[in-house]
Structure 1
Amino acid sequence: MAGIAVYSVKGGVGKTTLAVNLAWAAASISRRRTLLWDLDAANGSGFLLGVDPRKKRSADSIFAEGSDPAKLIRETAYPGLDLLPADESIRTLDRTLDRLGKKKRLARVTEGLAKEYERIIFDCPPVLNELSAQIIRAADLVIVPLPPSPLSARALEAVTEEVRSAGKGHPPILPVLSMLDLRRSLHKAAREANPDWPAIPLASAVEQCAVERRPVGALAPRSAAARAVTGLWTAVERKLARG
């Protein structure tokens, strides 16, 4: 099993859309049994996949001793792809983890989920706190979506510092240029400065994901955006294979 965190401390960077599309790619392209774990209280991943959380159980209950994750996990419309949805309880999860005093509680839960899944994608909240620290400890790779802007560069610095604080065994970071529009001079300059970074274009097909509540690979499989997601997922698998 490999855990992949899609993380940024800045909102509005396409984080959730990227997490959903990568999870779809893992299940549909690599044919890996995949879990998308939404850890953002907005439940954006669930919305994009057309899946609502179970009202009888709160998302934070998975961290209780003896909890059964299967009671929270939902199937999606896509073979091999399941969702662990978020809800409002995630907003106080940071305090819950602090109270438990277990720095690797999320990693332990992830290890249990590894019995059923080959890839776990974490849709992370845009915060720097105990929850983000625990996600990083559980991840094998951290993907950072970055729309070309000075604020995004600062966000990458913050994420890099957070990841490195996890110690020598911290996961590698893969920056991804998101919402890239090469008609704009700032975007073109960012692409020229980072030619080796994967890039996801600003495209109507990506915007339609939220309207149709489907991943771009299912919605517009021949689009440039779908090809970009496929290319990014290929880069992710190669990076994981190299360890």
Structure 2
Amino acid sequence: MTGGSSGRSGPPDASGSCATIAIYSVKGGVGKTTFSANLAWCCAVSSGHRTLLWDLDAAGGSGFLYGLEAKGSRLAEEVFSRERSPDALIQHTAWANLDILPADESIRAVDAQLAQIGKRKRLAKLTEELAGTYERIVLDCPPVINELSAQVVRAADLVIVPLPPSPLSARAFDLVVREIAGNTKRHPPILPVLSMLDMRRALHRQAHEANPSWPSIPYASVVEQCAVHQQPVGALAPSSPAAQAFGRLWDAIDRKLAERH
């Protein structure tokens, strides 16, 4: 699957303002990119929102899951320095309403760059400008605690935290909450979600029983196949439990975001 130029067709409807959803964790390997790619697909395809998936992780996983690569190696830096408009880097996916701003290796230097330029809301300003075109912006965030993560918090209307099912899940979530609360006086709502939940495993059952109100996404081999086929699970296996779980999670998120207006 390859991507061409952005297929956007004008500004979003005036009936609703843009919302920025950050998928964030201080730990790697928890399903963050899988959440980002699949929730963005649900947002665009199921809800029909004009959606931008912005990959802020140097691993570039979100773009890869859609068969897209960055057009250069130093472009992310230029977006944050305002030497280049993000519009020039956005690519259209095979699905209507869904575009991607892929990551490149210069994302690694953005933290130092932001500290140097001293613009604490640079990411928030960029998302505000993109809101002229998109109704929803999904940020696939790097697993770090630094200036970039602080900027993510200032830009986001909602932070989703994927958590591995273990007795340490609540502790890990508390760490994220403290990090977010330390970077803004009025932090956005934070939603913990158990990822890769396998109810056959005792520790997973215990984590679920300890946090019964948390949504969950089940462990499923079809989710791993997303990277092989470079398609989201909703397109690859729409009737699978994983696809249905992502759909339910997105529907709940979308209802909450709609209640803001």
Quickly name the TM-score band, shorter chain normalised.
Answer: over 0.9
More deviation, 64-73/91-100: 64-73
* Amino acid of the structure 2 residue aligned with 1:21: N
For 1:136-151, list aligned pairs within 5 A.
Answer: 136-151=153-168
Per-residue CA deviation, residues 94-123 of structure 1 (Å, 9 max, x unaligned), is 000001101001100110000000000000
Which residue number corresponds to residue 78 of structure 1?
A: 95
* Amino acid of the structure 2 residue aligned with 1:159: V
For 1:36-185, list aligned pairs within 5 A.
Answer: 36-55=53-72, 58-65=75-82, 67-185=84-202
Identity %: 63
Task: Provide the secondary structure at the position in 2 that maps to 1:23.
Answer: helix
Which residue number corresponds to residue 34 of structure 1?
A: 51
- How far apart are the structure 1 equivalents of 2:44 and 2:82? 29
- How far apart are the structure 2 equivalents of 1:237 and 1:95? 34
Which residue number corresponds to residue 242 of structure 1?
A: 259
Give yes or no for contact 1:144–1:173 (8 Å, CA) kept in 2.
yes
- How far apart are the structure 2 equivalents of 1:39 and 1:90? 7
Coordinate RMSD, CA, aligned: 1.3
Which residue number corresponds to residue 7 of structure 1?
A: 24
How much does 1:242 deviate? 3.2
Which residue number corresponds to residue 24 of structure 1?
A: 41
TM-score of the aligned structures, taking structure 1 as reference length? 0.96
- How far apart are the structure 2 equivalents of 1:57 and 1:166? 27
Specify whether residues 56 and 19 from structure 1 end up closer, same or farther in structure 2 by C-alpha distance, changes over 3 A only. closer
- How far apart are the structure 2 equivalents of 1:4 and 1:206? 21
How much does 1:213 deviate? 1.0
Per-residue CA deviation, residues 179-212 of structure 1 (Å, 9 max, x unaligned), is 0000011111111122221110000111111111
- How far apart are the structure 1 equivalents of 2:166 and 2:202? 11
* Amino acid of the structure 1 residue aligned with 2:159: V
Give yes or no for contact 1:57–1:72 (8 Å, CA) kept in 2.
no
How much does 1:56 deviate? 6.9
Task: Provide the secondary structure at the position in 2 that maps to 1:143.
Answer: strand
Specify whether residues 94 and 118 from structure 1 end up closer, same or farther in structure 2 by C-alpha distance, changes over 3 A only. same
* Amino acid of the structure 1 residue aligned with 2:251: T
How much does 1:226 deviate? 0.5
Which residue number corresponds to residue 194 of structure 1?
A: 211
- How far apart are the structure 2 equivalents of 1:154 and 1:92? 29
- How far apart are the structure 2 equivalents of 1:47 and 1:167? 32
Task: Provide the secondary structure at the position in 2 that maps to 1:228.
Answer: helix
* Amino acid of the structure 1 residue aligned with 2:204: H
* Amino acid of the structure 2 residue aligned with 1:156: F
- How far apart are the structure 2 equivalents of 1:60 and 1:116? 22
* Amino acid of the structure 2 residue aligned with 1:122: L
Give yes or no for contact 1:31–1:80 (8 Å, CA) kept in 2.
yes
Task: Provide the secondary structure at the position in 1 that maps to 2:44.
Answer: helix
- How far apart are the structure 2 equivalents of 1:58 and 1:132? 19
Give yes or no for contact 2:74–2:104 (8 Å, CA) kept in 1.
no
- How far apart are the structure 1 equivalents of 2:29 and 2:193? 14
More deviation, 42-51/64-73: 64-73
Give yes or no for contact 1:10–1:152 (8 Å, CA) kept in 2.
no
How much does 1:68 deviate? 1.6
Question: How many pairs were matched up?
Answer: 243
Task: Provide the secondary structure at the position in 1 that maps to 2:67.
Answer: coil
